[in-house]
Structure 1
């Protein structure tokens, strides 16, 4: 047990040393072509630093919130498999949280996709 722990540490140190040597001894090619963003073989047409739309960010956050809520439904099948009433109540609770959040976001206007 003790030896296997030290083998993991040794492999980590060896990998770190190899990466450090590769980055310090490797070729360093730099120039305007290497530093420019790649657009499918075409020359860049404008700045690569464009402002990101806040609407996309809000939709992504909403997706993550509701995705995590749906993931909470999956363990209900395993943990509440004995009593169907408790499973139904637990599932209804999670679904009510989901629908309440969706209703709140809809009434706040976060789901209106107008430009």
Structure 2
């Protein structure tokens, strides 16, 4: 009876260990990127953290966990940067078209919006 109980307990522990190991990776939200400047700041800071981790000779499992978490912030930042870059392209096209047609108001309005975003990316 003792051997049977021991086998059942051992089997139970093995099943629990396998279940724990096979649970999906925990997902994080990452730092928000609500504005272009916030996205650029997060992108810069988080890339620096990633570079420091990747510069190590060896990565530990903890390092991989940290890298996993960092990628969420980077993904949020890139998503916002891409959205803003699309808007910049639209504004730049409006500046282009306005300059062709002599529409000063169109050039100034869209030019100001374009430059505000562009200067956030490249000061």
Q: Do they fold alike, i.e. is TM over 0.5?
A: no
Higher relative contact order (CA 8 A, sep 6+): 2
TM-score of the superposition, structure 1-length normalised? 0.34
More helix by share: 2
TM-score of the superposition, structure 2-length normalised? 0.32
